[in-house]
A and B are shown apart, each in its own frame.
Chain A
Amino acid sequence: MQYIFCIMEYLYYICLMENLKLKIARVENSLSQQELADLVGATRQTIGLIEKGKYNPSLNLCINIAKALNKTLNDLFWDETNMK
């Protein structure tokens, strides 16, 4: 039973690491990763890695993504879970 809790906790942290806000905003705008990448001048892989939380984009790229999705930086990249 303890192992199951551990696995669930691990999966929860993986979900937290992922940038789900970006993914949701992209889907809301009916854009594929490739289309968003073309809009912001990046590659599809980069967008995918940002969504997975495995790449920290530069501020310029963050701004371009936010503009392309009609969102603010806070909407997409601010992590409220770690705020006290």
Chain B
Amino acid sequence: MDERNKLIAYKVISIMYFLTIFAIQGVVIYRQFALGQELSDFEDIAIIMTINSLFLISALLYFGAIPIRKLKVKSILLIYVVFVILGSLFTYAKYNIFRSPGLSFEQLFDKLIIIFTILGLMMGFWILLSILGKRRLDKELE
């Protein structure tokens, strides 16, 4: 197996990985919104998907696949806000559009706090890994 074979293998594996992830995501959305199943019915898939996405981005950041010259607070906050907006919209759609009766304002606010916290932890984890990855690379260059 030479470098060309490896390159082709990596490309095929990457494409197949993303197709699998998208297919599983499609299954989760279909179960949740079309079949109206509860989270407990596909909790295992949801957990695997979450861990997978979390570690995929973490690995990309740590090994330098996502180029970051400098960690800027402004950019981090912007990404965080975008994630919070997306998470909030998804949660609102899940509980108040696809289900009736929907959640009250207080219940939605509780969900929003959970979104804030989880996304904050996720962002913190990614920032930590970015810093560690950058340090590792700097050490290798010394």
Contact = CB atoms under 8 A, between A and B. Distances in A.
Contacts of B5: 43, 46
Interface string B1-14: 01111000000000
Contacts of A46: 2-5
Contacts of A60: 3
A55 B6 CA distance: 13
A41 B2 CA distance: 7
Contacts of B3: 42, 46, 57-58, 60-61
Nearest to A46: B4
| Interface residues of B, dominant DSSP | helix
Interface string A29-64: 000000001000111011001000001011011000
Nearest to A49: B4
A57 B4 CA distance: 8
Contacts of B2: 37, 41-43, 46, 61
Contacts of B4: 42-43, 45-46, 49, 55, 57
A29 B3 CA distance: 24
B7 to A, nearest CB: 9
Nearest to A45: B4
Interface of B: 2-5
Which are the 4 A-B pairs with shortest beta-carbon distances? A42-B2, A46-B4, A43-B2, A46-B2
Given A45-B4, A49-B4, A61-B2, 18 more contacts: A37-B2, A41-B2, A42-B2, A42-B3, A42-B4, A43-B2, A43-B4, A43-B5, A46-B2, A46-B3, A46-B4, A46-B5, A55-B4, A57-B3, A57-B4, A58-B3, A60-B3, A61-B3
